[in-house]
């Protein structure tokens, strides 16, 4: 079990006060070198505390009474979590941001990942099929080339990026906007479990803290700060992704965007980014790998000669997605033959079945 | 004097003999009916009194006791009117014969002495026959029902008076003539012919496979896609009812009081469409009379649940037992009865709450959570019992539909019958009839697939994220596809096609 110094414990206690903003915590900590003093003799700080925020003095006194260190340690141990402080050697230098470096980080999983080369992939929570495909293929290629994929475990692009990395057997880091013992959104539970096993889960927030709207912009700064660069695969113009992009710009990170359909709302954000001279265009994962002078890994698929029927179907799908009936008319195959051919191609990963009896490449 | 008349009562679909004993004693004039009779039977006293008077007899001005034996089972219905009346006449020596002892007497009386039809006659006649009774006196309106049962003599009477004259030998009545079931079968016709459903080739193919192998099927498609029409047309491609099946169906309909009295037997496979507000008793049976529910009325036919996720979750879950066993046990305070419930389930649903998910023309406004919540209304164990899940095309694909002739129900039905015949031979001594009923052992025995197909299935599981439990379903469906083609061995193409019928397992639906 990891042990914490008195100073560290005091900082953890401070983090446990949910009503307090990060700014207030920093302001309180700036009052003294020994944070435990704040809890031991709150009266000394009373005047200053009240200046900083609403009845902070009260909250600190309440916490001193209610916070059970034993229980905290037991719980931390039981969920295999721990707290990382700035003075720890594992604490990445790149997180020591000028103004708003985190005071501490709660984590679960493999801390060694922080010393690896990280790359962030972010985007909309409601990606189109295009956005899904782009995210998946870029995440796979970048993970294969040795990057640890960083994202926010949100719906949509985040989850797809994490999954792609894990499926490649690579590592991934999730920075989340709630306590590390909470799964949000619930549908990512399996992903959450896999990341706690094979990846790293980071959060600035105390155990059990709910995901609040303002947490997400805060954690976005950490996503970009952790990474060498940030890739936006698909995002609308008012997407929260743009907050990450702005942080990345401030932090001087490399920013890549994948262009999208100019008529699609979900691509407005990424397309606008391309107007910014600081953003780079990425139309192939290799573009990013070239920039970092990395070697891409060729996808190794078993080469197999397609049969005549398979070629027919593949050719029919080349320009655009087609409905099953259209394919029947174009290829002239029988129902059974076409179904069988489609399944074989699908299993080979050459085509995809889409909702509504559509097929596409 | 004491009189004893034979009659029958129903428990579920089984009849049991009831002895009606009537004794007339000195005392204040009143009728007392004992032996756990329900209200309808208690009121029979009034009907009997009036109909005796209106038939030219007189009701004894004494104390009349009617006992229904066995005395410890609850009896219901109005079918004891006639036997009670006959018993009273015999006990008061107005009926000058003991011939009534040779008959089982059933019937409801109206106040003028005419007979009215009763429910559940078919079930009673069959049970009676099994217990060695061959002569019955029944209301004439139930004649058709009796005509299909060979080996009994059913005498139809119109009124109490006619019954008495018959018993006394004053007038002669011939027993109901036996009718052949095959003749009745010819008259049937389905509302929707398969050829009336235009396009929808995937869905129609899936329907054919489902019927051929007895598989349950789920149709997924936007509103107005024609899911209900497709479901209705399915009865026309199902094999004809056999006589045994028809009798079983008729028994249920007769007990539920839904039988068409003129026809007397059900010749069409039932197609039941309970509304989605249906309660659990309405679906599986119950109520204070433990009547059969929709699942039993759909026995040997189709239970169509339109907009399946709209049904109450608890109601859907009750379908699990009948889907597994083909029977349903209804337990009530008074009795526990078992009804048959061997039906093909056809469910339909939208792909999402707004119905436009996957459409190229309409925009789906549902959030991913809303879609998941919608899909989650169908529980895993329930979906597990639905072998085929297929997408039905929206109206916007009308122009894609082939202009050629659509195949008629008749020719599809022929293929289905051939496939069923193969299955019947295969499972001749297995106690099952269709591929869908195969258990794991039988699947291992009859569904071996080539190595190539094995490989494909394995990569299909990985690539298409099919759930593990899908594998047995795929094998069963592949077996049916092979049977439809008359192939002895399952080929890779059959497995490949079967994989296409697992829409809900697919990633894009989550």
Q: What distance in Å separates residue A171's CA from the closest CA in chain B?
A: 20
- Pairwise CB contact (< 8 Å): A340 & B497: yes
Tell me what the pLDDT averaged over chain A comes to. Answer: 89
Stretch A62-88: mean pLDDT, rounded?
90
- Contact assignment for A339 to B500 by CB distance below 8 Å: yes
Average pLDDT, stretch B397-418? 78
Say which of A185, A328, A347 has its CB closest to residue B459: A347
Closest to B5 measured CA to CA, from B119, B164, B127? B164
Q: Closest partner residue to A346 among B357, B397, B463, by Cβ?
A: B463
CA distance A124 to chain B (A): 13
For the full predicted model, state whether its pTM sits above 0.80.
no
A324/B351 CB distance under 8 A: no
* CA dist., res. B232 & res. B207, Å (int): 11
pLDDT at A302 over 70: no
What are the DSSP calls for B42-103, one per residue? HTHHHHHHHHHHHTT----SSEEEEEEESTTS-B-SSTTHHHHHHHHHHHTT-S--SGGGGS
CATH of B438-510, picked from 1.10.8, 2.40.160, 1.25.40, 1.10.10, is 1.10.8
Q: Residue A336: list chain B partners with CB under 8 A.
A: 481, 485, 493, 497
- The pLDDT of residue A306: 80
Q: Measure B424 CA to nearest chain A CA, in Å.
A: 24
Does B332 have pLDDT greater than 80? no
CB spacing of B496 vs A335 below 8 angstroms: no
pLDDT band of B191, cuts 50, 70, 90: confident
Mean predicted confidence (pLDDT) in B449-478:
82
Q: State in Å, rounded, how far the first CA of chain B is from the last one.
A: 78
Higher pLDDT among residues B363 and A215, named by residue: A215
Can you give the residue ranges of every domain in chain B?
Answer: 2-168, 194-412, 438-510
Under the banding of pLDDT at 50, 70 and 90, the label for residue B363 is confident
Point out the residue among B400, B463, B481 whose CB comes nearest to the CB of A326: B400
Contact B202 A336 (CB under 8 A): no
> Which chain A residues have a beta carbon less than 8 Å from that of B481?
336
pLDDT, averaged across chain B: 87
Task: Reply yes or no on whether the pLDDT at A355 is more than 90.
Answer: no
Predicted pLDDT at B430: 76
For residue B447, give how far its alpha carbon lies from the nearest alpha carbon of chain A (Å): 18
CATH architecture, domain A308-360: Orthogonal Bundle (1.10)
Shortest CB distance from A340 goes to which of B368, B464, B496?
Answer: B496
> Is the pLDDT higher at B345 or at B223?
B345
DSSP B213-254: HT--EEEE--TTSSHHHHHHHGGGGSPPPPHHHHHHHHHHHH
- Residue B358 and residue A324: Cβ atoms within 8 Å? no
A50 token code pair: 């009240």
Residue A124 confidence (pLDDT): 93
Q: What is the pLDDT of residue A194?
A: 92
A43 interfacial to chain B (CB closer than 8 Å): no
| Res B7: pLDDT | 95
Q: Give yes or no for A168 touching B (CB within 8 A).
A: no
Whether residue A57 has pLDDT greater than 50: yes
* B147's tokens: 């005509």
Share of chain B above pLDDT 90, in %: 40
Cβ neighbours of A347 in B, within 8 Å: 456, 459-460, 463-464
Measured CA to CA in angstroms, residue A221 lies from A94, A101, A149, A271 at distances of 11, 9, 16, 22
Min Cα separation B458/chain A (Å): 9
CA dist., res. B437 & res. B327, Å (int): 14
Q: What pLDDT, on the 0 to 100 scale, is given for residue B507?
A: 55
Distance from CA of B156 to the nearest CA of A (A): 56
Q: Is the pLDDT of residue B356 over 60?
A: yes
Query: Are the beta carbons of A353 and B400 separated by less than 8 Å?
Result: no
**Whether A356 and B358 lie within 8 Å, measured CB to CB:** yes
Per-residue model confidence (pLDDT) at position B506: 64
Considering the four listed CATH numbers 3.40.50.450, 3.30.230.10, 3.40.50.2000, 3.30.43.10, the one that applies to the domain covering B2-168 is: 3.30.230.10
Distance in angstroms (rounded) separating the CA atoms of residues B508 and A355: 7
A169-175 mean pLDDT: 93
pLDDT of residue A203: 95
The CATH number of the structural domain formed by B194-412 is 3.40.50.300
Q: Predicted confidence band at B382 (pLDDT cuts at 50, 70, 90)?
A: confident
Chain B nearest CA to A329, separation (Å): 8
Considering only the C-alpha atoms of chain A, give the largest distance between any 2 of them, rounded to a whole number of Å: 87
The whole-number pLDDT of residue A44 equals 83
- The residues that bridge with B338 in the sheet, in sequence order, are B329
A222 has pLDDT over 90: yes
At B26-38, the pLDDT tens digits run: 999 889 999 988 8
Residue A356 to residue B368, Cβ atoms within 8 A? no
CB B16 within 8 A of CB B127: yes
Segment of A322-326, B71-75, B154-158 carrying the highest mean pLDDT: B154-158
Q: In the predicted model, is pLDDT for residue B131 greater than 90?
A: yes
B397–A323 CB contact, under 8 Å: yes
Q: Considering the domain delimited by A111-291, tell me its CATH architecture.
A: 3-Layer(aba) Sandwich (3.40)
For residue A129, give the chain B residue with the closest CA: B508
Where residue B121 falls among pLDDT bands split at 50, 70, 90? Answer: very high
- Please state the φ and ψ torsions of residue B347, each to the nearest 5 degrees: -110, 155
* Cα–Cα dist A236/B52, whole Å: 87
State the pLDDT at residue A300: 59
Res B404 pLDDT > 90: no
Residue B166 DSSP one-character state: H
Pick among B493, B494, B502, B507 to test the A interface (most A CBs inside 10 A): B493
B508/A353 Cβ within 8 A: yes
Contact state of B463 with A349 under an 8 Å Cβ cutoff: yes
Q: How confident is the model at residue B362 (pLDDT cuts 50, 70, 90)?
A: confident
Average pLDDT, stretch B307-315? 90
pLDDT at B510: 46
Mean pLDDT of A109-116: 91
């Amino acid at each position: 079990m990891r042990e914490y110094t008195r100073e560290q414990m005091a900082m953890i206690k401070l983090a446990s006060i949910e009503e307090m903003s990060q700014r207030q915590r920093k302001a309180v900590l700036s009052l003294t070198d020994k944070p435990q003093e704040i809890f031991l003799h709150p009266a000394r700080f009373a005047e200053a505390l009240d200046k900083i925020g609403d009845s902070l003095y009260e909250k600190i006194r309440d916490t001193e009474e209610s916070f059970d260190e034993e229980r905290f340690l037991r719980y931390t141990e039981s969920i295999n979590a721990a707290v990382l402080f700035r003075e720890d050697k594992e604490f990445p230098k790149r997180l020591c941001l000028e103004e708003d470096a985190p005071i501490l980080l709660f984590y679960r999983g493999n801390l060694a990942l922080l010393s690896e080369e990280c790359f962030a992939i972010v985007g909309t929570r409601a990606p189109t099929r295009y956005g899904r495909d782009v995210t998946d293929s870029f995440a796979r290629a970048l993970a294969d080339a040795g990057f640890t994929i960083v994202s926010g475990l949100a719906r949509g692009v985040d989850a797809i990026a994490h999954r792609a990395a894990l499926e490649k057997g690579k590592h991934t880091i999730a920075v989340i906007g709630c306590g590390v013992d909470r799964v949000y959104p619930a549908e990512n539970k399996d992903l959450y479990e896999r990341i706690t096993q094979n990846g790293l889960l980071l959060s600035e927030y105390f155990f059990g803290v709910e995901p609040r709207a303002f947490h997400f912009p805060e954690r976005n700064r950490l996503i970009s700060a952790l990474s060498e660069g940030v890739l936006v695969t698909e995002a609308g113009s008012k997407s929260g992704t743009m907050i990450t992009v702005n942080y990345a710009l401030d932090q001087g990170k490399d920013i890549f965007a994948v262009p999208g359909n100019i008529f699609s709302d979900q691509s407005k954000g990424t397309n606008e980014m391309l107007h910014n001279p600081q953003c780079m265009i990425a139309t192939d994962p290799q573009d990013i790998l070239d920039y970092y002078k990395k070697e891409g890994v060729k996808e190794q698929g078993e080469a197999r000669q397609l049969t005549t029927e398979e070629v027919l179907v593949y050719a029919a799908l080349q320009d655009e997605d087609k409905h099953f009936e259209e394919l029947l008319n174009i290829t002239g195959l029988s129902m059974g033959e076409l179904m069988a051919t489609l399944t074989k191609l699908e299993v080979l990963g050459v085509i995809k079945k889409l909702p509504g009896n559509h097929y596409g490449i | 004097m004491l009189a004893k008349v034979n009659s029958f009562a129903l428990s579920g679909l089984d009849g049991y003999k009831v002895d009606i004993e009537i004794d007339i004693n000195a005392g204040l004039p009143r009728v007392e009916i004992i032996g756990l009779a329900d209200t309808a039977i208690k009121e029979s006293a009034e009907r009997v009194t009036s109909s005796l008077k209106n038939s030219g007899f007189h009701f004894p001005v004494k104390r009349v006791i009617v006992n229904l034996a066995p005395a410890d089972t609850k009896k219901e219905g109005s079918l004891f009117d006639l036997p009670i009346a006959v018993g009273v006449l015999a006990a008061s020596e107005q009926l000058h014969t003991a011939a009534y002892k040779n008959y089982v007497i059933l019937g409801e009386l109206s106040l003028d002495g005419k007979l009215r039809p009763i429910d559940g006659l078919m079930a009673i006649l069959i049970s009676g026959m099994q217990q060695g009774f061959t002569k019955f006196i029944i209301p004439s309106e139930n004649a058709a029902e009796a005509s299909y049962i060979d080996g009994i003599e059913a005498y139809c009477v119109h009124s109490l008076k006619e019954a008495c004259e018959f018993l006394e030998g004053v007038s002669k009545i011939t027993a109901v003539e036996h009718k052949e079931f095959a003749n009745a079968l010819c008259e049937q016709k389905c509302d929707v012919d398969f050829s009336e459903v235009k396009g929808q080739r995937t869905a129609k193919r899936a329907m054919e496979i489902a019927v051929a192998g007895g598989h349950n099927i789920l149709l997924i498609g936007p509103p107005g896609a024609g899911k209900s029409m497709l479901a209705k047309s399915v009865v026309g491609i199902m094999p004809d009812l056999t006589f045994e099946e028809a009798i079983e169906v008729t028994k249920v309909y007769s007990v539920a009081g839904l039988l068409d009295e003129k026809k007397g037997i059900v010749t069409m496979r039932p197609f039941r469409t309970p509304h989605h507000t249906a309660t659990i008793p309405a679906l599986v049976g119950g109520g204070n009379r433990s009547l059969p529910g929709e699942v039993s009325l759909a026995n040997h036919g189709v239970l169509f649940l339109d907009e399946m996720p709209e049904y109450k979750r608890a109601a859907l879950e009750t379908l699990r037992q009948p889907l597994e066993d083909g029977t349903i046990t209804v337990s009530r305070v008074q009795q526990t009865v078992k009804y048959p419930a061997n039906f093909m389930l056809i469910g339909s649903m939208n792909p999402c709450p707004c119905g436009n998910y996957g459409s190229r023309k309409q925009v789906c406004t549902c959030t991913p959570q809303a879609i998941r919540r919608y899909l989650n209304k169908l529980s895993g164990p329930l979906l597990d019992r639905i072998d085929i899940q297929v997408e039905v095309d929206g109206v916007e694909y009308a122009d894609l539909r082939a202009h050629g002739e659509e195949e008629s129900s008749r020719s599809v039905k022929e293929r289905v019958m051939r496939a069923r015949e193969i299955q019947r031979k295969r499972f001749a001594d297995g106690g099952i009839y269709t591929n869908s009923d195969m258990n794991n052992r039988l699947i291992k025995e009859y569904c071996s697939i080539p190595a190539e197909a094995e490989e494909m299935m394995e990569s299909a599981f990985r690539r298409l994220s099919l759930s593990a439990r899908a594998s047995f379903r795929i094998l069963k469906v592949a077996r049916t596809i092979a049977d439809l083609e008359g192939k002895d061995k399952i080929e890779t193409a059959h497995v490949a096609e079967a994989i296409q019928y697992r829409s809900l397992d697919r990633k894009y639906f989550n």
